[in-house]
């Protein structure tokens, strides 16, 4: 989809797009202006200009994000849009920069990291007075790029673009993606870090969020003893992103941290609900507002294996596997607490918030599981053992998580079953969720039927019609998720110049909880050929 020139859009740019770049206006800038790799001290960001590209081509954009920003379709299909969001032209009011932050990576302090391949173009205030930062990923080097080139390739950009919007429609807190643009240039990448690099098509995604501030933005200042800068950033963050808390003070910092803990717990609960595995939960990839950020080697839990990680870098330790995500969020919050401790000077309020994270998450998890199972509410006396029993059964055989929970709503739970053995016909919809038929032994079926018998008796306590239960389950158990093999099929086509599957996936993933006639193929189990195929099973941080 090649962008077309539209003169009317130039008028709209001059009158409609309002930039209010509060981050660069209120926080200290890097005094050095040369774009060279270095340690940046005494600053929250460095001003930097995107790298020019040779022949940009618009592949796709998100109409939902377009609406949020107040853009028109004609603007999105104009040369002005194409050049602005490929980095070739700055619109009036843009003030591009890369942020300085550090982080703990795989449990170890990594020092300065920063926006190594992300450049923030500016902050738009839309017609509803919402603040949205426009950020190009893959637009060239910055002072934080270390030994890298600051660029991105088409395959990783497709994955980021599609997943950002898929997560939004799944109702998971997330950064958004405005556009996906091919640069017309080649970028060298070693996909699996195995010494076999190759040239790949370059691309740029425009990411959109109210803020891209991370835990690591605070960690870097504390690690350097820059308490004044730490306070400046915290005050800015509270006034901009948490204004309801009031004016910054030690008491407000504690309330702010408590809210960050709850926002983080809410995000993780949504990940666990839909079976999403982030893959790289470093503190520099944790949003201060509880948004899913940085889509690299992510994946959806197809085989329900809590120890699964999509990240090849994490293959040895499984630190960031599905089942560890709540504990890692807790660990990361402890690191953030350590970072903001100089602002409060007391351990107790920080420890209270950390402790409340665990209680809040546990309550949220129980509520979430009750919703997934179609229960009116979580009743500890019966439901703790019910949920525990199911989570013990699911990993016994290779079970597709998405299909299992979606099809659980199809079971006729209004019939009377005197014994678990009577339930064999009932379980037929669940058979679609199993990958290896030979694993479905009589012993396994006996255990599954016993659990179903208990489950149905529990549902009868709620005394609700079948349709009412199903109407509760379907909006929390998606039918369509962005399975890695689907993304890879779209990538394979796109690398040959065919972008049709990107657009088709965009449309299907807009309605993940609805039955979509003719689109059933997008809801099927991962095919066997994708079990070990690169891009379909495990991915690297270069993916």
For the chain, the C-alpha Rg in angstroms (whole number) is 24
**H or E, element range at 380:** helix 380-393
Which of 441, 513, 426, 520 lies closest to 470, judged by CA?
Answer: 513
Chain mean position to CA 173? 7
Strand, helix or coil at 177?
strand
DSSP states along 54-118 = SS-EEEEE-HHHHHHHT--HHHHTSHHHHHHTTTS-PPTT---EEE--EEEETTEEEEE---SSE
Does the annotation count 284 as an active-site position? yes
Both structure tokens of 131 = 């603040």
Both structure tokens of 146 = 């270390």
Q: Which residues of 425-458 are buried (b: 16+ CB within 10 A; e: fewer)?
A: ebeebbeebbbeeeebeeeeeebbbbbbbbbbeb
Quote the Cα angle for 441-442-446, to 5°: 120
Candidates 30, 235, 258, 284; catalytic one: 284
Give every CB contact of residue 290 below 8 A, 6+ residues apart in sequence: 173, 260, 262, 263, 264, 266, 267
Q: Which residues pair with 201 in a beta bridge?
A: 186
Q: d(Cα 77, Cα 58) in Å, to the nearest integer?
A: 8
332 and 219 Cβ atoms separated by less than 8 Å: no
CB-side neighbour CA atoms (13 Å) of 397: 20
* Residues with active-site annotation: 284
């Amino acid at each position: 989809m090649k962008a077309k020139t539209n003169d009317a859009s130039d008028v709209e740019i001059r009158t409609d797009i309002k930039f209010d770049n509060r981050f660069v206006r209120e926080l200290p800038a890097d005094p050095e202006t040369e774009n060279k790799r270095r340690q940046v001290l005494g600053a929250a960001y460095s001003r930097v200009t995107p790298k020019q590209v040779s022949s940009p081509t618009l592949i796709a954009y998100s109409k939902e994000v377009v609406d949020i920003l107040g853009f028109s379709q004609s603007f999105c299909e104009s040369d002005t849009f194409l050049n602005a969001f490929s980095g070739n032209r700055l619109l009036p009011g843009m003030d591009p920069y890369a942020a300085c932050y550090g982080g703990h990576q795989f449990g170890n302090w990594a020092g300065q990291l920063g926006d190594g391949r992300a450049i923030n173009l500016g902050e738009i205030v839309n017609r509803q007075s919402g603040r949205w930062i426009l950020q190009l990923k893959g637009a060239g080097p910055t002072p934080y790029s270390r030994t890298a080139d600051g660029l991105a390739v088409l395959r990783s950009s497709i994955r980021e673009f599609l997943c950002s919007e898929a997560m939004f429609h799944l109702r998971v807190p997330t950064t958004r993606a405005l556009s996906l643009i091919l640069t017309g240039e080649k970028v060298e990448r070693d996909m699996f870090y195995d010494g076999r690099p190759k040239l790949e098509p370059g691309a740029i995604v425009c990411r959109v969020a109210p803020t891209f501030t991370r835990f690591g933005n605070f960690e870097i200042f504390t690690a350097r003893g820059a308490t004044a800068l730490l306070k400046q950033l915290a005050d800015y963050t509270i006034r901009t992103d948490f204004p309801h808390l009031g004016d910054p003070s030690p008491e407000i910092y504690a309330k702010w941290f408590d809210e960050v803990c709850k926002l983080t717990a809410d995000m993780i609960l949504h990940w666990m609900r839909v079976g999403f595995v982030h893959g790289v939960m470093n503190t520099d990839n944790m949003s201060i507002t509880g948004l899913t950020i940085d889509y690299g080697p992510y994946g959806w839990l197809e085989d329900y294996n809590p120890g699964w990680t999509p990240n090849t870098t994490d293959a040895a330790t499984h630190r960031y596997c599905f089942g560890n995500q709540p504990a890692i969020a807790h660990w990361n919050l402890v690191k953030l607490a350590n970072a903001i401790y100089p602002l409060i000077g007391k351990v107790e309020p920080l420890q209270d918030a950390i402790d409340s994270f665990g209680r809040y998450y546990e309550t949220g998890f129980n509520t979430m599981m009750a919703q997934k199972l179609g229960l009116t509410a979580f009743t500890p006396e019966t439901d703790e053992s019910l949920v525990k029993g199911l989570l013990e059964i699911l990993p016994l055989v290779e079970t597709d998580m998405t299909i299992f929970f979606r099809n659980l709503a199809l079971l006729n739970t209004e019939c009377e079953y005197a014994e678990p053995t009577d339930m064999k016909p009932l379980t037929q919809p669940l058979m679609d969720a199993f990958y290896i038929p030979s694993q479905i032994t009589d012993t396994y079926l006996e255990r599954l039927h016993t659990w179903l018998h208990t489950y149905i008796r529990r549902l009868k306590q709620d005394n609700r019609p079948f349709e009412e239960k199903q109407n509760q389950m379907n909006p929390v158990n998606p039918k369509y998720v962005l399975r890695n093999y689907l993304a890879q099929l779209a990538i394979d086509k796109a690398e040959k110049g065919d972008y049709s599957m990107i657009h088709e996936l965009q449309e299907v993933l807009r309605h993940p909880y609805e039955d979509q006639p003719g689109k059933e193929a997008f809801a099927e189990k991962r095919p066997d050929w994708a079990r070990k195929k690169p891009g379909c099973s495990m991915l690297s941080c270069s993916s």
